[in-house]
Copies of this chain bind each other. A is one copy, B any other.
Amino acid sequence: MKLIESVPNFSCTGDTLEKIVDVFRQADEVTLLDYSDDIDHNRSVVTVIGPPEALADALFLAIKKASELIDLRTHKGAHPRMGATDVVPFIPISQATMEDCIELSKTVAERVASELNIPAFLYEQSAATPDRENLATIRRGQFEGMKEKMAGGFTPDYGPAEPHVSAGVTAFGARKPLIAYNINLGTSDLSIADKIAKKIRHAGGGLRYVKAMGVMLEDRNIAQVSMNLTDYEKSSLYQVMETVKYEAARYGVSVVGSELIGLMPMKAMFDAASYYLQLESFEPEQIIEQHLLPKEEGDQA
C-alpha cells in the first residue's frame, strides 16, 4: 500500500475552491482529508492522499480546474503567490519513499507544463540544484514580477519560458511530513520559553529537524515552546519532550501539557509509545487497523 499525501495551495476561496475540491471528492482512490480557506489571504490549503497514479491524475485535474477558474491578473490577497495553483508538495505517508514523491512531483509538473502550458518549477527535495530548494526564492517577485524574472534567465524545469497569462507558474516538490508540536510550561515567564526554544532548535545548536519559538498563551497566562518538526523520524516527538523537560528543569519549571496541531502519520505516535514503553520490537502489522487500510492493487503495465 503505497500512499502519498499532497497539500496543494490554491489562490482562491469560497465557491471557486468548492469547485476545485469537488475534483478530489469525485476522484477514485483519492481521499480528501481536509481543506481550509483563508479569506484575508484569498488562498486555500487542501490536504489529499492516495496511491501515486490516482493522486497524480486528481492533482492534474484540480490544477486544470484552478487554471480555468482563477485569473491572477485580478487576484488580491495578503499571502505571496505566483500561480492559480501556487505550490504542490508531495509527502510520503505509507510504504512510499521520498524518491517516489520526487518522481511523482516531476510527473505532475511535466504534465501541467505540457498540457496546460503553465511553467513548472521543482523545489525542496525535487529541486535540480540547491538554489531552487527554497520555495521563497522561487516565488520572489510573485505573479506580477514573474514575467520579467523569467525573461532574466529564471528558467522553469518544465514548460514555456514565460508565465501563463492568467494562471502564472506553479512549484512542485517532495518533502517530509511536518508535525506541529507545542509544549506548555508551568510558568508565565515568556523568556524561559524563549530560552528553551533557542536551545532545542537546530539554529541554536539543538535538534537537527526542529524549529522552535517561545509563545505566550494569554488566556491561560502560561508560556509555550511552539515547534515544527520537519523530519519526525529523525528528530522525534519523545526527543523534543525529553529535551524541553531537562531544559525547563534548570529554571525549576515543569511541563504542564502539550498539543499536537493538525494531521500526522500514525507512525509518529507509535514511535513515542515505543520509546516510552521500551518496546524491543514493534511492527505496524500488530495494529488491527493497519490491516483495514487500502491495499495496493499491484503494479500496472
Contacts and interface: CB of A to CB of B under 8 A. Distances in A.
Interface of A: 3, 5, 31, 33, 49, 93-94, 183-184, 237-238, 241, 255-260, 262-266, 269-270, 272-273, 275-282, 286-294
A180 B255 CA distance: 31
B259 A291 contact: no
Contacts of A259: 279-281
9 contacts: A33-B291, A49-B288, A49-B291, A93-B288, A255-B278, A259-B280, A263-B286, A266-B287, A272-B277
Nearest to A276: B276
A73 to B, nearest CB: 36
Contacts of A256: 278
A288 to B, nearest CB: 5
A276 B31 contact: no
What 4 pairs across the A-B complex have the smallest Cβ distances? Answer: A276-B276, A272-B273, A257-B280, A269-B273
Contacts of A270: 269, 273
Contacts of A258: 277-280
User: Which one of A183, A260, A275, A293 has the highest number of Cβ atoms from chain B below 10 Å of its Cβ?
Assistant: A260
Contacts of A275: 276
Nearest to A292: B293
A288 B260 contact: no
Contacts of A93: 288-289
Contacts of A5: 288
Contacts of A3: 292
Nearest to A257: B280
B292 A263 contact: no
A276 B238 contact: yes
User: Which one of A257, A259, A266 has the highest number of Cβ atoms from chain B below 10 Å of its Cβ?
Assistant: A266
A249 to B, nearest CB: 15
